[in-house]
Structure 1
Amino acid sequence: MTTCPNDHLQTRFARVIAHIDAHADRQLDLAELAGIAAFSPFHFHRQFAALFDITATRYIRLVRMRRAAHSLLFRKDIPITDIAFDAGYENAESFSRAFRKLHDQSPSDFRSHPDWDNWQAPYAKLQQVRRDTMTTTALNTVTIIDFPETRTACMDHIGSPARIGETIQRFIAWRKIHHLHPSKHATFNILWCNPEDTPADEFRMGLAVATDQEFSDEDNKKGFYSQTLPAGRYAKLRHIGSDQTLGDSALALYRDWLPQSGETPGDFPLIFQRIAFYPDVAEHEAITDILLPLA
């Protein structure tokens, strides 16, 4: 099969995307990015825009602003000034002007009253570029593991997947109160249904943290309940990269690996174990173990 010349360009510029994601917290110039692509600095910016339908400068700005938005929503202990500096702005005022232009809200208003249905809309182009360039998870890395019985505190998100961030906020706040840090207490998502064929108002996903703590009446009122993840044999596929391609990896596990393996799925939903979190790590370095229970 003849390789399309455009494939070589995609590969070279995919390295640029990964580099931007990994180093968006420092100054990046086009000459540096052109060198990573092994492309003429005189033509790099035009080729980038031709491939991705967005300029490199705009892409970098969106990467920084999306990470800032995540920090505002899910890292509430970080001051807005620090988030502004991390996003490359000299002061909170200039960051606030740029953020308001993108989200039609100030950073403080966004942090306290986000528009959950639409807050990711400004980053649609960014997400498409990442989906097109991030490496597909290799199915030859699937392993069979013995998973131990794990008791968790679980909170269900029920309703539109677009609003799951609202539930994540409450989940993070609760586990902070109970000192259940991710470095010591594993984090899981339980996929009670398939978002692709479930009406938005019926969508259900469990957010769970490993713990043996007992629940108070107040915990129950907040929506937490005890959920035990059953022990047994599981197929594990490590997904590295954006959540935008997490569903693709899970689909490949069912479509390509499972029929060839001779295995049969067990009587429990698919589980995502979150190992490394965005925005604590660059999005292309986020790690999620996809766990498929086996009979």
Structure 2
Amino acid sequence: MDFKELSKKEYTARINRVMDYISQNMDQTIDLSLMSDIAAFSPYHFHRIFTFILGETPNNFLSRVRLEKAAQLLQDHQKESISEICYQCGFGNLSSFSRAFKSFFGMSAKEFRQQNKAIYIKDGIRYSKNCKPISKIGKNIQKINEQFCTVEFNQLIIMDTKIEIKRMPELNLIYCRHMGAFNKIGQAYEKLFKWAIPRELVTSETKTVTVYRDDPSITSIDKVRQDASIIVSSNVKVEGEIGKSTIPAGKYAVGHFEIKETEFEQAWNTMCSWLTESGYQPGDGCTYELYHNDYNDHPEHKFIVDICIPVKPL
């Protein structure tokens, strides 16, 4: 591996550490100086490197993820006040939050909360529970067949499967981060296994996990962060693009699926539909997919996977 490639991997690792810190400390004061310290760069070099790697400045990234987290909480945690959510997401006062939110989403936080929530995705179009199309942030609603009825919709997207509330154990993971289209995450898994296999971290019992760091119903797909991960039992020393993370134990809605590569959207729609009628709401933490097989070994090339969504009572 040449020096240029080594440098790129190290820079990516440092930027990942900054993103992870922001996600874990959303309610704290975070400025350019702190972010550059975490990345071990001078503020000047950090700003340039961060912007080059992610395509947005550090402050723009920080503001965006805070606002998107606030939007998620506004819809998922209806009992929390807008003020409570404002401070949870690191805004110093309600007026500055309100201005930033309206500038980013084109509506007030109160108006956003009153909107129907996107539950389903079909052919790239987002729908509410009653099958009404919902616009992507900053975009107009796409034209669709207005006669598309609930019965037809459910037949197309809802799977018959077992979903239950379970307490899932803590997961210690090593990961390679991917940002962008879901069907491209295989590239991150290739990098992860290329690093892990020589270090004897992969056995016949090894399970893979895709962790979702953003809500695709709110965050633009090109910005959605996904961690291609494997479960490890020991304190692994990581380097370069390979990071480590922990998914805490907790209560999850778990759906068990045996699906083709093209059916993940339908499986997630099934989970989201079930959740709206379950008596639960999304809890704190990340959603993830836990894979139980190598789809290449399946006679029909199917994934045996649990989709896990953290939940708490309504």
TM-score by length of 1: 0.52
SS at match of 1:187: strand
Residue type of the alignment partner of 1:112:
Q
The answer for unaligned runs of 5 or more in structure 2 is: 119-125, 127-133, 139-177, 208-215, 219-248, 279-284
Distance in 2, matches of 1:26 and 1:142, equals: 42
Return the offset for 1:81.
0.9
Give deviations 1:114-169, integer Å, cap 9, x for gaps.
463366647xxx9649x899996978388599xxxxxxxxxxxxxxx959xxxxxx
Do the aligned partners of residues 142 and 62 (structure 1) sit closer, same or farther apart at CA in structure 2, a change above 3 Å counting?
Answer: farther
Partner of 1:48: 50
Partner of 1:289: none
Do the aligned partners of residues 121 and 109 (structure 1) sit closer, same or farther apart at CA in structure 2, a change above 3 Å counting?
Answer: closer
* Structure number having the greater helix percentage: 1
The answer for unaligned runs of 5 or more in structure 1 is: 146-160, 164-182, 210-221, 225-240, 279-295
Distance in 2, matches of 1:79 and 1:53, equals: 33
Partner of 1:8: 10
Partner of 2:305: 270
Taking the TM superposition and a 5 Å limit, the aligned residue runs for 1:168-187 are 186-187=252-253
Choose which of 174, 196, 202 in structure 2 pairs with 1:140.
202
Return the offset for 1:42.
2.8
**RMSD, aligned α-carbons:** 4.7
Distance in 2, matches of 1:184 and 1:47, equals: 36
Partner of 1:205: 270
Partner of 2:152: none
Choose which of 189, 212, 215 in structure 1 pairs with 2:255.
189
Partner of 1:171: none
Question: 2:33 touches 2:43 (CA, 8 Å); kept in 1?
Answer: yes
Residue type of the alignment partner of 2:15:
F
Return the offset for 1:204.
4.9
Return the offset for 1:83.
1.0
Question: 1:80 touches 1:107 (CA, 8 Å); kept in 2?
Answer: yes
Moved over 3 A (4+): 118-122, 126-129, 131-145, 183-186, 190-194, 198-204, 206-209, 267-270
Residue type of the alignment partner of 2:48:
R
Partner of 2:38: 36
Residue type of the alignment partner of 2:93:
N
Question: 1:17 touches 1:133 (CA, 8 Å); kept in 2?
Answer: no
Taking the TM superposition and a 5 Å limit, the aligned residue runs for 1:243-258 are 246=288, 250=291, 253-255=293-295
Partner of 1:156: none
Distance in 1, matches of 2:266 and 2:9, equals: 40
Return the offset for 1:75.
0.7
TM-score by length of 2: 0.49
Return the offset for 1:193.
5.0
Question: 1:187 touches 1:273 (CA, 8 Å); kept in 2?
Answer: yes
Partner of 2:148: none
Give deviations 1:169-212, integer Å, cap 9, x for gaps.
xxxxxxxxxxxxxx986421344755x52597898524568xxx
Residue type of the alignment partner of 1:188:
V
Residue type of the alignment partner of 1:205:
T
Residue type of the alignment partner of 1:87:
C
Distance in 2, matches of 1:140 and 1:121, equals: 40
Shifted more, 102-111 versus 51-60: the winner is: 102-111
Question: 1:31 touches 1:41 (CA, 8 Å); kept in 2?
Answer: yes
Do the aligned partners of residues 140 and 78 (structure 1) sit closer, same or farther apart at CA in structure 2, a change above 3 Å counting?
Answer: farther
